[in-house]
């Protein structure tokens, strides 16, 4: 149950973020002048928000929806929002088009969307934009620039930062294993590509081997277990996904091997193992509050504020110095969930002002 939920969420996110990374190249142009994109200035508070999700089942998605609902509650108190409409396309991009069309028909004021396909939604989203609806797209992005804003982190930076931490940790000398997500998934490729320049610049770091598994604990643990037999000397594990790291740590533990510096993501299981086994760790995340930020950005745009066409969210980093703060809040998150960094209005305003 736990594993399969986690696996689903990872696989889904892998796909979604892959699409996201692909479209990121296209985004970023067309900064708004006075008002933000799509805004015609004829809509008044309180606003109705539509949240067009591609797939609501994975834990990451549920947590993201949680941040959206919480943000809407806040905005309701301020009298800015009166309703939130949620749809789940059950993984079907065609259904997502239908849902967004229905949101246009229902004349919502803002649409927040994670795209099920990087280009299938282009036309319906342009239609929404033409109607003066604030469209904010995050996590998995669309091609069209006819949106109010796109919001995401950078997968390449993710890989680079993880590799840099590993190099620093090992003092530029050591044998490491690289753990990747599934081959051919863009987010996995993009993180790995991001790590390469850092590894090239540090020839003292020797890559023993690499793994490609589902973003899931069990296959990662299995892969690492066999690698432990083959490699008596491993100085670090450069893992580019949270559940992979948990599998790696468990494999080291079962074999009675001493833990080595390990990178990962903010999966609760990994963070707890990190503390429990006392390893040297590093993690980053795709923050769930991108959802809350998207709602906030949409409302700001509707209120006539200037919102940048592309909002790049810096990757929050978890280190040995900050992990305690994350674990202190662990009980607020599902066991197979992600402990995301704290967020508040000040952070959102700062991100929107960039």
Partner 1 sequence: MSATTVPANLYAAVQKRRNRGLTGLYLVVAAFLVVYAILFPGLLSVGGFSKFTQNWFPLALVTMAQALMMLNGGISLAIGPMVSLGAVIAAVTMGGPLGVLGGLIAVSVAGLFIGAVTGGIVAYLRLPAIIVTLAGSFIITGIALILLPRPGGYIPDWFSDLLAGHTPVAFGLLVLLLIGWKLYLATPLGLGIYAAGNNPVGAFRSGVPVERVKVFAFALSGLLAALAGLFVAAQTGSGDPVIGTPFTLNSIAGAVLGGVAFLGGKGTMRGVICGSLLLSVMINVMFFLGFPPVAQYVAQGLIIVGAVAIPQLTSQWRAKP
Least distance between partner 1 and beta carbon 231 (Å): 34
How far is the C-alpha of 292 from the C-alpha of 352, rounded, in Å?
13
102 or 259: whose CB is closer to partner 1?
102
Inter-CA distances, 64 with 88, 204, 207, 320, Å: 13, 40, 35, 26
Inter-CA distances, 179 with 5, 92, 162, 246, 256, Å: 21, 30, 12, 11, 20
Among 45, 70, 82, 102, binds partner 1 (CB under 8 A): 102
Least distance between partner 1 and beta carbon 150 (Å): 16
Cβ-based neighbours of 129, under 8 Å, separated by 6 or more = 37, 38, 135, 146, 147, 148
- Residue 19 CA, chain-centre distance (Å), reads 12
> Angle 130-352-141 (CA atoms, 0-180°, nearest 5)?
55
Least distance between partner 1 and beta carbon 4 (Å): 17
**Count of chain residues binding partner 1 (CB under 8 A):** 30
- Beta strands of the chain (E only): which ranges? 47-53, 81-88, 110-113, 134-138, 149-152, 174-180, 205-212, 236-239, 262-265, 281-284, 310-312
Stretch that binds partner 1, among 111-119, 130-138, 201-209, 272-280 (CB under 8 A): 111-119
Per-residue mark of binding to partner 1, 26-65 (x: CB under 8 A)? ---------------------------x--x---------
Tell me if 93 contacts partner 1 by CB under 8 A: yes
Among 11, 74, 82, 92, binds partner 1 (CB under 8 A): 92
Tell me if 119 contacts partner 1 by CB under 8 A: yes
How far is the C-alpha of 135 from the C-alpha of 149, rounded, in Å?
7
Stretch that binds partner 1, among 31-39, 80-88, 171-179, 322-330 (CB under 8 A): 80-88
Instruction: Single out the residue of 112, 106, 310, 151 nearest to residue 125, CA to CA.
Output: 112
Which residues, numbered 213-272, are part of the site for partner 1 (CB under 8 A)? Answer: none
How far is the C-alpha of 115 from the C-alpha of 19, rounded, in Å?
8
DSSP 8-state code for residue 267: B
Tell me if 130 contacts partner 1 by CB under 8 A: no
Which residues, numbered 3-22, are part of the site for partner 1 (CB under 8 A)? Answer: 19, 22
Least distance between partner 1 and beta carbon 56 (Å): 5
56 or 212: whose CB is closer to partner 1?
56
How far is the C-alpha of 156 from the C-alpha of 193, rounded, in Å?
7
Among 86, 218, 317, 327, binds partner 1 (CB under 8 A): 86
> Angle 89-113-144 (CA atoms, 0-180°, nearest 5)?
110
Stretch that binds partner 1, among 79-87, 151-159, 292-300, 318-326 (CB under 8 A): 79-87
93 or 208: whose CB is closer to partner 1?
93
Least distance between partner 1 and beta carbon 102 (Å): 4
Least distance between partner 1 and beta carbon 40 (Å): 18
Inter-CA distances, 153 with 21, 66, 158, 275, 351, Å: 9, 19, 8, 26, 12
Tell me if 70 contacts partner 1 by CB under 8 A: no
Q: What are phi and psi of 208, to 5 degrees?
A: -65, -50
Among 7, 71, 88, 190, binds partner 1 (CB under 8 A): 88
Residues at the contact surface with partner 1, assessed by CB under 8 A = 19, 22, 53, 56, 85-88, 90-95, 97-99, 101-103, 105-106, 117-123, 143
């Amino acid at each position: 149950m736990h594993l399969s939920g986690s696996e689903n969420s990872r696989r889904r996110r892998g796909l979604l973020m892959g699409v996201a990374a692909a479209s990121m190249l296209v985004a970023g142009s067309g900064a708004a002048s006075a008002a933000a994109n799509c805004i015609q200035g004829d809509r008044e508070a309180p606003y109705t928000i539509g949240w067009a999700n591609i797939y609501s089942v994975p834990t990451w998605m549920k947590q993201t929806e949680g941040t959206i609902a919480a943000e809407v509650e806040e905005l309701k108190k301020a009298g800015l929002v009166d309703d939130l409409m949620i749809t789940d396309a059950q993984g079907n991009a065609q259904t997502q088009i239908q849902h967004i069309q229905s949101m246009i028909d229902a004349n919502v004021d803002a649409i927040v969307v994670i795209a099920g396909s990087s280009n299938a939604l282009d036309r319906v989203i342009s239609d929404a934009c033409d109607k003066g609806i604030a469209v904010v797209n995050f996590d998995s992005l669309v091609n069209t620039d006819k949106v109010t804003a796109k919001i995401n982190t950078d997968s390449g930076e993710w890989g680079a930062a993880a590799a840099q931490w590993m190099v620093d940790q090992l003092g530029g000398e050591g044998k490491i294993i690289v753990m990747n997500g599934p081959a051919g998934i863009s987010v996995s490729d993009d993180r790995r590509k991001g790590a390469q320049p850092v590894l090239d610049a540090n020839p003292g770091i020797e890559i023993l081997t690499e793994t490609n598994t589902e973003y899931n604990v069990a296959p990662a643990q299995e892969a690492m277990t066999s690698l432990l037999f083959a490699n008596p000397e491993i100085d670090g594990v450069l893992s580019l996904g949270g559940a992979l790291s948990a599998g790696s740590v468990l494999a080291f533990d079962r074999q009675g091997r001493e833990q080595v510096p390990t990178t990962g993501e903010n999966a609760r299981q990994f963070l707890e193992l990190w503390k429990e086994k006392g390893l040297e760790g590093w993690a980053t995340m795709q923050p769930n509050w991108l959802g809350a930020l998207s709602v906030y950005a949409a409302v700001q745009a509707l209120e006539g504020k200037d919102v940048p066409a592309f909002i790049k969210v810096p990757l929050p980093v978890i280190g040995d110095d900050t992990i305690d703060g994350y674990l202190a809040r662990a009980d607020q998150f599902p066991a197979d969930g992600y402990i995301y960094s704290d967020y508040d209005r000040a952070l959102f305003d700062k991100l929107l002002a960039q």
